[in-house]
Amino acid sequence: MDTTLQQTDSLLNAIAPAPGEPRREILDPATGELVGFAPVHGLAELEAAVAAAKAAQPAWAAAGHEARSAALNAAAEAVEANAEELARILSREQGKPLNGPNARFEVGACAAWLRAAAATPLEPETLVDDGQTRAVLHYRPIGLVGAIGPWNWPMMITVWQIAPALRMGNAVVVKPSEYTPLSVLALVRVINGALPEGLVSVVSGDREVGAAITTHPAIGKVMFTGSTATGKAIIRSSADTVKRLTLELGGNDAGIVLPDADPAAIAEGLFWGAFINTGQTCAALKRLYVHADIYEDVCRALTDYAAQVPMGVGLEEQNVLGPLQNKAQYEIVAGLVEAAKASGARVLLGGNPDETQPGFFYPTTLVADIDNENPLVAQEQFGPALPIIKYSTVDEAVQMANALEVGLGASVWSADPEKAREVAARIEAGTVWINAHGAVDPRIPFGGAKQSGYGLEFGAEGLKHLGQPQIING
C-alpha cells in the first residue's frame, strides 16, 4: 500500500468512533468506495463540548493577543506538517481532486488563514480625546462560538470560522456537514495539537445538533455558511438568546462581460470563476451576461478552454475537476440542465452525463441562448453548468444581474478597468471583482448583500465580528 495512504488511514483511524458508538458510513462520491466511519454525536456530546469550552475559554481569553497568535501560527505549522494526509482525506470524502484549486489548495488555505488571523493587527481605537472626553473602543471575547459548516469547502470554511474566533479569545464548538465530517474531524485533531484542551471541539451530528447550537444559552455567537433557507431558520431560532450572527448564505453570482473585452484573454478566468470546485462554491460565477457584439466569440473561447479540463477521480493526479459531492446535488444540476434543454437553449458542451459510470459525475456544461428567467439562470445550480445570456446594453445587463434576491459576489470583465469599476458600483453584491471572480483574500473583508447574509469575515473587520465591542468612556 502507498505510504501516504497508510498515513491517511492512520489519521482516519484516530478520528474513528469508539467501539459501540453510533457511526455513519462515509462513501467516496467519485467511486462509491468506503472512506471511513464518522461518529454520530447527539445532544449529550454537544453539552460535553460546551462544558469543555466554558472551562478552557477564560484562560485563553486572559492569555492575550500575542500568545493566541503564537498558538495559531503553531496550528498552521501542524496543518502543513500533515498537509498531504489531510488533502487525501478531503479528496476521498468531498470528491475534489488533489490538484488544481482543490484539495491541496484547500489545505494550504487553512494554514494561510490561520497565519492571517494571527498577523492581522487590531488595536484599541481612540474615538474621542479632546481634553474633556476620552472614549476608547475595545473588542472583548464573546465567549463561546458555534461554527456550522458546509460540505463544499469543509476544511477551509471551518478555519475561516475558528481562526478569528480563537484569535479574539473565544472557544469554539464546530458542527460539520453530515456529508463531510471526516475532513473537519481530522483537521481539528491536527490543529488541537497546538491548542489548549477543550478549546475547540467537533460535534459530528445531524440537524438536531445544529439546531441546538443555535438555541444554546451558553453560545454567544453563531457562524454559518450554507443555504439562505437554513440561514433564515437560524435567525429565527437564535432570537430568544439574542445571539450574534455571521451568515454567509447562498449566492447566484452574475458576471458581466463588456463589449471591449478580449474573449481569448478572459476565457480561462471565466472558466475557473464558474467551475472552481466543479461549480460547488457559494461565490462562483453562476450566470454569465455577454454583450451581443462578442457573444459568439466568448462562447467559442470558453467552450474551447472548458473542453480541455480533465474531470475524474480525485486521487488521480491529472484531474482538476471532480464529481458532485452527493446525489441530491447531482439531481439538482441534472434537472436544471434538462429544463434548459427542453426550453430550446443551445448546449455548447456537456449536458450528457454517463449514468453507467460510478460516482456523481456531471460533465462540464455550457448552455447558450437561454432566457434570463430560465430556472438554470434564476436558481443557484451549485454545480458544473453555466448559462450564458446575451445582452444589448449595459443597463440591461445590470438590471438582470440585480434582479435576484441574493447578492454574494459578482464580476465585470473589460479591457478598461476604470469602465469596469463604474459598472461594478451599480451591482448589488457584497464583492464585485474586476476581470476575476471569487478570488477571496484573508486580508480583504468578505460578506453578502441582500439575502446572501450579513456580517463580515477576513481581515480586521472579520476579527471585529468575533468580538464584543466595548467603549471605555473616561
List pLDDT tens digits, range 229-255: 999 999 999 999 999 999 999 999 999
E-only strand ranges, 231-380: 244-248, 253-257, 285-291, 346-349, 365-368
The three cell numbers of residue 71 are 498558538
By C-alpha distance, which of 316, 384, 385 is closest to 91?
316
Per-residue pLDDT, averaged over 79-83, amounts to 98
pLDDT, residue 10, reads: 86
3-state secondary structure of 473: strand
Name the active-site residue from 85, 106, 248, 457.
248
Lowest mean pLDDT among 19-23, 136-140, 293-297, 464-468: 19-23
pLDDT, residue 7, reads: 56
Band (128; pLDDT cuts 50, 70, 90)? very high
Half-sphere exposure of residue 205: CA atoms within 13 angstroms, side-chain side: 23
The answer to whether 170 and 144 are in contact (CB under 8 A) is: yes
Residue 3 has pLDDT above 60, yes or no: no
The answer to whether 186 and 176 are in contact (CB under 8 A) is: no
Per-residue pLDDT, averaged over 11-18, amounts to 93
The three cell numbers of residue 376 are 438554470
Residue 5 has pLDDT above 70, yes or no: no
pLDDT, residue 339, reads: 97
The count of other CB atoms within 10 Å of the CB of residue 82 is 21
pLDDT, residue 418, reads: 98
Q: Is 248 a catalytic residue?
A: yes
pLDDT, residue 8, reads: 62
- Global pTM reads 0.95
Residue 147 has pLDDT above 90, yes or no: yes
Residue 106 has pLDDT above 90, yes or no: yes
The answer to whether 274 and 430 are in contact (CB under 8 A) is: no
All structural domains of the chain: 3-249+452-473 (3.40.605.10), 253-441 (3.40.309.10)
pLDDT, residue 94, reads: 98
pLDDT cut 70: percent of the chain above it: 98
Mean of per-residue pLDDT scores for the chain = 97
Band (286; pLDDT cuts 50, 70, 90)? very high
Residue 4 has pLDDT above 90, yes or no: no
Residue 189 has pLDDT above 90, yes or no: yes
CA distances to 16, 86, 90, 420 from 10, rounded to whole Å, are: 10, 11, 14, 50
pLDDT, residue 9, reads: 79
Q: Is 299 a catalytic residue?
A: no
Band (355; pLDDT cuts 50, 70, 90)? confident
Q: Is the dihedral of CA 436, 429, 401, 342 positive or negative?
A: positive
Band (320; pLDDT cuts 50, 70, 90)? very high
pLDDT tens digit string along 452-461?
999 999 999 9
Per-residue pLDDT, averaged over 187-203, amounts to 98
pLDDT, residue 314, reads: 97
Per-residue pLDDT, averaged over 98-112, amounts to 98
Name the active-site residue from 282, 299, 380, 457.
282
Per-residue pLDDT, averaged over 154-168, amounts to 98
pLDDT, residue 6, reads: 53
Residue 266 has pLDDT above 80, yes or no: yes
Per-residue pLDDT, averaged over 181-189, amounts to 98
Per-residue pLDDT, averaged over 208-234, amounts to 97
Residue 64 has pLDDT above 50, yes or no: yes
pLDDT, residue 151, reads: 98
